[in-house]
Amino acid sequence: MDGSLEQTIRHGRDGRVSGLPVPRLGPPRRARGLRGRRRVEPHRPFDPQRVGQLESSLWIAYYRREWVAFVRVAVVVIRRLLGLSWPSTLRASWYLLRATRRWAPCPDNDPVAARLAMERFYRLLKPHNNGPFDPAEAARLEVEWWRVHRRHQHKHPDTDERALVDALAAFYAYALGLPDRAVRPAAEERALAMRYCDQWVQAGCDLRSSLIAQKRAALVRSYTGLLAVVGQP
């Protein structure tokens, strides 16, 4: 974790964080095609290293229940990854926080409220989406993988992550408009990051743990995999 983010986490106030895919978002950049026709570049460029580091910090804030730090990092992630305006970024961060806090209690969480908050989150993204995109379906698929992860984390920690990878791949495939096979490697790396994160939580959420670096590296590999496929037809 880089020093500035670590300071943000440590100075924050004292389940699962959004997948934050790289959907067919904009604002789309237009460029001249052949014979003067206009074409739309369908995906935003991003730095997998930086985004992976940021989301790693987001997970740390979530599991340590440091909600001020969570919002600070969420604003940076959403602005950097999704390129929303500042007003939309702040609203999206609020909806993400609301969804996460409704989901966080275990076992007495509120998955319906979490899903509705994530639907509002995705409605902010819909105007920038270049293809068919239903915020309700995106929210349903997202909260579904939250559910699968929680079940795995608390009830079946010794089993493999196949069901979690399936749920993540379904979410990524829908959000990005890509076939399952294209996003599955990224889903597998994200599930691996969750395994390290679950081990870190079980060990007491120590900020000095080497598991943080392992989790962050898996997230970076996941985003690198997404970046490799988002430009494919």
For position 35, what pLDDT does the model report?
Answer: 39
Consecutive H or E run containing 38? strand 38-41
The pTM of this model reads 0.82
User: CA angle, corner 205, sides to 197 and 186, nearest 5?
Assistant: 15
Q: What is the DSSP letter of 23?
A: -
pLDDT tens figures, 125-177 = 988 776 789 999 999 999 999 999 999 998 877 778 999 999 999 999 999 99
pLDDT tens figures, 24-77 = 544 334 433 333 323 333 456 789 999 999 999 999 999 999 999 999 999 999
CA distances from 133 to 24, 89, 157 (A): 9, 19, 33
By percentage, how much of the chain surpasses pLDDT 90? Answer: 67
For position 215, what pLDDT does the model report?
Answer: 98
As a residue count, the chain comes to 233
